[in-house]
Amino acid sequence: MKDGIEYSAPLNREGFIVATWVDSKSEIWSRQVYVIKHQVGLEKDVQTCFITEIQLEGEKLRVTDEQGDEFEVDLDSLTVKLLKGRSVIDYTKGTQ
């Protein structure tokens, strides 16, 4: 949390970070950090990849998903930079 803003990764929006005013609980913005391509017919629970950690580092968020991919979100521009791993998780090519 910084300046009354909380950063979270809602379970119902995989790959997204949401900024919310703490006092009013109103959403300020949301940003997709990575994309998941789902395979039709394959169980959804084997095609999930949740954000497991969000760290505030100055004016940037460091985001890690459960597969170990790491991203950086610039809080001024909301641009996303891939630090480690991949930005598209593609289950259409088989399970991973």
Question: Percent of the chain, pLDDT > 90?
Answer: 71
How many other CB atoms are found less than 10 A from the CB of residue 21? Answer: 13
Domain parsing of the chain, residue ranges: 5-93
Determine the residue type at 42: L
Residue 94: is its pLDDT beyond 70? no
Residue 18 pLDDT class (50, 70, 90 cuts):
very high
Residue 58, helix vs strand vs coil: coil
Q: Closest Cα partner for 64 from 50, 78, 80?
A: 50
- pTM comes to 0.85
Length of the chain: 96
- Per-residue pLDDT, 56: 96
End-to-end CA distance of the chain: 33
- Higher per-residue confidence, 86 vs 54: 54
Q: For the domain made up of 5-93, give the CATH fold.
A: Thrombin, subunit H (2.40.10)
The mean pLDDT value of the chain amounts to 90
- Higher per-residue confidence, 39 vs 27: 27
Give the largest CA-CA distance in the chain: 44
